[in-house]
Chains A and B, each alone.
Chain A
Amino acid sequence: MSDLKPYTSVSGRSKIVSDKKITWVERLYLPAILKGMTITLSHLLKHKATIRYPETKREFSEIYRGQHVLKRDDEGRERCTACGLCAVACPAEAITMVAEERKPGEENLYREEKYAKIYEINMLRCIFCGLCEEACPKEAIFLTPRIVNADYHRDRFIYGKDILVESMDNRVDVTKRQTPEVLAFKKEKNRKHND
């Protein structure tokens, strides 16, 4: 690299600016104008960058971090045990919850002995960082490739369990983000997140 001249650019695209007097031909401007017009003309038939939104949608990443889901297990029981680790991990303090003890006869509703009676995420506070998902020891909360819808009222952005908990007949697929590698990573005790 030492043999490079002082003003040589690495990409080779930079141009050295000089203040030399422009020649008579350059002062005519017509060649330059024609050159510019050929450039715009070449763009006329180029591929257009526009995506016609409602008809075609931009492809999401399979592990896009959008609206959260509170998962149920295969028997339809809520996985969340209201430990509060997600709320602690949340840098935006968007998550609040109220825990409740599971009563006898509710074993088909909640997997653990303690569950979240109220679980709320303020979607206006949430920064969709995914730390709640990373902190969750019960594999209960996940972010999904769904966009949080716009609304006219700010209070409607506080999503409760009615929106967050998945329904059994319309389950949310999180297998793409819950790969064996991810599970192994979460179980590693020498990592900082398991301190």
Chain B
Amino acid sequence: MEYQFILYKATLSIAILTVSLLIAMYSTLAERKLAAFFQDRLGPDRAGPFGLLQPLADGIKLFYKEEFMPASANKFLYILGPSLTMLVALLTSAVIPWGNSLIINGHEFSLQVADINIGILYVFAVVSVGVYGIMIGGWASNNKYALLGAIRAASQMISYELAMGLSIIAVVMMSGTLSIQKIVDQQAGFNWNVWYQPLGFVIFLVCALAETNRAPFDLPECETELVGGYHTEYSSMKLGFYLFAEYINMFISAAIISCLYFGGYHFPFESMLPVSHNILTIIGVLILFLKITFFGFVFMWIRWTLPRFRYDQLMKLGWKKLIPLAIFNMVITGFVIRLLH
């Protein structure tokens, strides 16, 4: 059993890693396609049918680009930066429940790599480390634009993590657990958290955009002011890692939003479907990916609609609007829970 268990977990981790990377790959294409469609263009359609091989071509291109390192850069940290960003982006997927469980030969296998009872805290801890990748990379480049971008990234992520944490606390108060699996299971059917926490959801969504450094919060890589922001000096696959990590983060953020507010792999009328447990699990996984795709679309949709914030506006929104709102949301939630019990 022990041997079987390890084998199963290893397979699951590899499968999730592969799927994350594949989805990130095709998110780049989806992003470009959607950007084009929003602007009445067609987007890349030359590589393969509908441009489906474009991410492959982009990847190969990045591999063949010159590996350039500024002479004055700190070599170790310069390489550590993108590696850390990529590592952290991939780590978060471990606690996300991708589906219910599969029953094979009487054994129950959970479709979650690690159901740790502090799941949300783990996500937070890992996401907070993410800022180090950007910070280290930006600082090690020894370039003022990179440094400015890195400082912006750091202050932005710290500011928005607060509001994000406060909005999640309301969810945790409601469900009484930090385990994402349990939070998801409490939302079985159509009993989604978003109906009880609409304000919390909006705050979380805004903060998720800021955490992933995406428009309208893409100040760390603000092209108009900072050349390329923290990755100005990066080229080849190191740059690729930074760009890729953004899409993985987006995928994971969409997954966490789906799990915390939209019932994860649960869907309405699931208990009425006359199918076996395993089939239901598979449908649930597909439903979760449908939700993730939808939120990925929303992320891109927002990016190609809204212009970038000015830096002082960004800080004002974070500290003066979102944090008070999140505290208000938390207090109201507390009152309601107290009244109901």
Contacts and interface: CB of A to CB of B under 8 A. Distances in A.
A37 B301 contact: yes
B37 interface: yes
B306 A33 contact: yes
Interface string A24-63: 0000001001001101110111111110100000000000
Interface residues of A, number: 16
Interface string B291-317: 000000000011011100000000000
B305 A37 contact: yes
Contacts of B39: 43
A37 B302 CA distance: 7
A48 B305 contact: no
B257 to A, nearest CB: 17
Contacts, number: 34
B37 A52 contact: no
Contacts of A44: 34, 37-38
A30 B203 CA distance: 12
Interface string B206-245: 0000000000000000000000000000000000000000
A178 to B, nearest CB: 39
Contact of B38 (A43, A49, A50): A43
Contacts of A49: 40-41
B52 to A, nearest CB: 16
A37 B216 CA distance: 13
A43 B34 CA distance: 10
Contacts of B306: 33, 36
Contacts of A52: 42, 45
Interface string B94-136: 0000000000000000000000000000000000000000000
A48 B42 contact: yes
Give the interface centre of A40, A43, A48 by most chain B CB atoms within 10 Å: A40
A33 B37 CA distance: 19
A50 B306 CA distance: 23
A121 to B, nearest CB: 35
Interface string B22-52: 0000000000001001111110010000000
A46 to B, nearest CB: 6
Nearest to A36: B305
Contacts of B42: 48, 50, 52
Interface of A: 30, 33, 36-37, 39-41, 43-50, 52
